[in-house]
Amino acid sequence: MKKVICLAAALAVAAAALTGCSRSVKPGEVAGFDEGEQYLSIWVHSIEDTPEGQSYRKSVEAFNEKFNGTYFADIEFIPRNDSGGGYSDKVNASVLSGGLPDVLTVDGPNIAAYAANGIIQPLAELSEEERGIYLDSILEQGTFNDKLYALGAMESSVGLYYNKAILREAGIEVPKAGQPWSFSEFLEILEKLKPTMDGKNGYPLDMTFPVGEASIYYFAPFIWSNGGELVSDDGLTVDGYFNSDTNVETMKYFRDLVDKKYMSSVPISNLFESGRAAFKFDGAWEVNTIYTSYPDIELGVAPYIVGDDWNGERYTPTGSWAFAASSGSKNIEGATELVKWMSGVESGLDLYRQTKSLPSTYEAYNYITDFTDDENYKALYEQLRDFGHPRPKTPAYPQLSSSFQQSLENIAISGMGAAEQLKKSTERINAKLERYTRT
């Protein structure tokens, strides 16, 4: 009997420790929350004591000032570790225990999964004017099943960087924005550069297919611009999309790059930065890296290359963390107001100043001299504005992302059969989609 009591007591203590508390906050309990105001809680995925965290704090304070007497937003910082845990663990635990805040941050590619599982709810209706301030890619990223769920303050972009000196020497002209090189044209250019780059103990192209999010982020545009898709519009079918013949062709293009030794099959660090590669695909941060750490490199941004039959549709990399209203929020009007504020022009501008992440609104770019005066930043912005395409929207995104990387690595580096690898990946993703498709 005693044993049972002991065990029960231990379980009770554990349960109390695990469930936490989700009580409602009353005016006066938190500094700044006054009688008559509606309380809005917000979670962000960063550490308070970082430039990014400080920027969020500042935006929330500005919101509280602007809406003094109506709303009060209370921000909580939940750090996210490198492998993606921490923040998402807390969100998952709160889904179970019911302690979700009114507003939370969600990584762009996860919006579909959060929406499909009812963790976030659609935002209140935005007027045309309100929607109009955001880049198309941000609205597209936040939309799932025709409903707008999330708006971000940050955007991102990947550039096809080139070494001006090397291309000048080889007599290669870089096309203007909107008229990118096609796959075949790019192959010819790489072939032309090969002897020069061999002489420099380098490669025409500094490119790798790393494990993690980078591979799909950088290289899915090859799929889209070549007329392929990775998943159906509703995000629930991959068979016939992921493993389409077009995608098999695109994958073979990657293998061509490796087979013809236009790129190294093993990652060599700082190839491009040390002047031993003519081209490199990398995030927008690379511009700052080159400017500050490798001033000898003459940097240019070429339009992202496209499939031979590209007809002008959107295809370039985009996406970042966004704000969404949780399904636990009973005040969707207030939550939407907070989401709009946190992703608005002011917040985006401040975030750019603190963290150099690209803003999400047209207006913000006008205030930042980098984007009006510097040709490289300007090119990245214009590419994002005119051609930005969010990553695939499917609730099985994590599996899609890792399958894409694995297929790419297996096909391009290890030389396995393209059709067979894509088919295998399709089966794996399908298995993860089962829970959404079974009726």
Partner 1 sequence: MMKKNRANSIMGMAFFGPALVLLTVFLFIPMILTVIYSFTDYFALSPATTHFVGLENFGKIFKDELFMQSFGNTVKFVLIIVPLQCLGALGLALLINKVTYCKKYFKVAFFVPVVMSLAVVSTLWMQIYSPEGILNTVLTNMGFDPQPFIHSTDQALPSIAIMSAWQGMGYQMIIFLGGLQAINPALYEAAEMDHASAWKKFKDITLPELKPLCVFVFITVTIGAFRMIVQPMVMTGGGPSNSTYTIVYDIYETGTVNWEIGLASAMAVVFVIFVVILTIIQNVLTKDKEDKHENKKK
The span of 157-165, 172-180, 299-307, 424-432 binding partner 1 (CB under 8 A) equals: 424-432
Q: Mark the segment that binds partner 1 (CB under 8 A) among 40-48, 286-294, 354-362, 402-410.
A: 402-410
Residue 88 in tokens: 């998402």
Integer angstrom CA distances of residue 233 from 138, 221, 305, 428: 17, 16, 24, 19
Q: Is 121 in the site for partner 1 (CB under 8 A)?
A: no
Contact segment (CB under 8 A) with partner 1 among 231-239, 253-261, 294-302, 429-437 equals 429-437
Task: Determine the Cα–Cα distance for residues 359 and 347; give it in Å rounded to an integer.
Answer: 9
Taking the complex as a whole, the smallest distance from the CB of residue 214 to partner 1 amounts, in Å, to 10
Nearer to partner 1, 32 or 84 (CB): 84
Residue 86 three-state SS: coil
The reply to whether 428 sits near partner 1 by the rule CB under 8 A is yes
CA angle centred on 381, ends 377 and 382, rounded to 5°:
115
Counting every residue written for the chain, the total comes to 439
Residue number, 52 or 409, with CB nearest to partner 1: 409
Q: In the bound complex, what is the minimum distance in angstroms from residue 411's beta carbon to partner 1?
A: 10
Distance CA 287, CA 159 (A): 9
d(CA 408, CA 415): 10
The span of 109-117, 143-151, 280-288, 373-381 binding partner 1 (CB under 8 A) equals: 109-117
Q: How far is the CB of 10 from partner 1 (least distance, A)?
A: 4
List binders of partner 1 among 184-223 (CB under 8 A): 210-212
Q: Which is nearer to partner 1, 260 or 435 (CB)?
A: 435
Distance, first Cα to last Cα, the chain: 47
CB of 126 to partner 1, least distance (A): 26
We find the least distance from the C-beta atom of residue 303 to partner 1, in angstroms, to be: 30
Cα 91 to Cα 110: distance, rounded to the nearest angstrom: 12
88 binds partner 1 (CB under 8 A): yes
Measured from the CB atom, the residue of 9 and 47 that comes closer to partner 1 is 9
Does residue 417 touch partner 1 according to CB under 8 A? Answer: no
Output the smallest distance, CB 267 to partner 1, in A. 7
Q: State which residue, 32 or 275, has the beta carbon closest to partner 1.
A: 275
For residue 96, the minimal CB distance to partner 1 (Å) is 4
DSSP-derived secondary structure letter, 411 = I
Half-sphere exposure of 426 (CA within 13 A, CB side): 20
By CB under 8 A, residue 13 contacts partner 1: yes
Cα 334-337-338 angle, rounded to 5 deg: 90
State how far the Cα of 50 lies from the Cα of 343, in Å rounded to an integer: 19
CB closer to partner 1, 25 vs 211: 211
Long-range contacts of 255-260 (CB under 8 A, 24+ apart): 255/411, 255/412, 255/415, 255/418, 256/187, 257/190, 257/205, 257/207, 257/412, 258/412, 258/413, 259/415, 260/187, 260/190, 260/191, 260/194
For residue 97, the surrounding DSSP H or E stretch is helix 87-97
Q: Which helix (H) or strand (E) holds 326?
A: strand 321-326
Alpha helices for 305-417 (secondary structure H)? 332-342, 345-355, 362-367, 369-373, 375-387, 397-408
Burial class (CB in 10 A: 0-12, 13-18, 19+), 182: middle
**Residue 72 or 114 having the CB closest to partner 1:** 114
Tell me the closest approach of the beta carbon of residue 211 to partner 1, in angstroms.
3
The DSSP symbol for 35 reads T
Residue 398 in contact with partner 1, rule: CB under 8 A: yes
| Region of 64 on the Ramachandran plot (φ > 0 left; ψ -120 to 50 alpha; else beta) | alpha
From the CA atom positions of the chain, what is the Rg in Å? 24
Q: Give the residue, chosen from 68, 70, 92, 366, that forms a contact with partner 1 under the rule CB under 8 A.
A: 92
Between 12 and 47, CB nearer to partner 1: 12
Smallest distance, partner 1 to C-beta of residue 31, A:
33
Which string of x and - marks every residue 334-363 that binds partner 1 (by CB under 8 A)?
A: ------------------------------
Report the alpha-carbon distance of residue 155 to residue 313 in Å, rounded. 19
Instruction: Pick out residues in 256-315 that bind partner 1 (CB under 8 A).
Output: 264-269
Part in contact with partner 1 (CB under 8 A); list of ranges 88-96, 251-259, 305-313, 320-328: 88-96
257, 399, 422, 433: which one contacts partner 1 (CB under 8 A)?
399
* 145 contacts partner 1 (rule: CB under 8 A): no
Residues at the interface with partner 1 (CB under 8 A):
6, 10-11, 13-14, 17-18, 83-85, 88-89, 92, 95-96, 113-114, 117-119, 210-212, 264-269, 398-399, 402, 406, 409-410, 413-414, 416, 424, 428, 431-432, 435
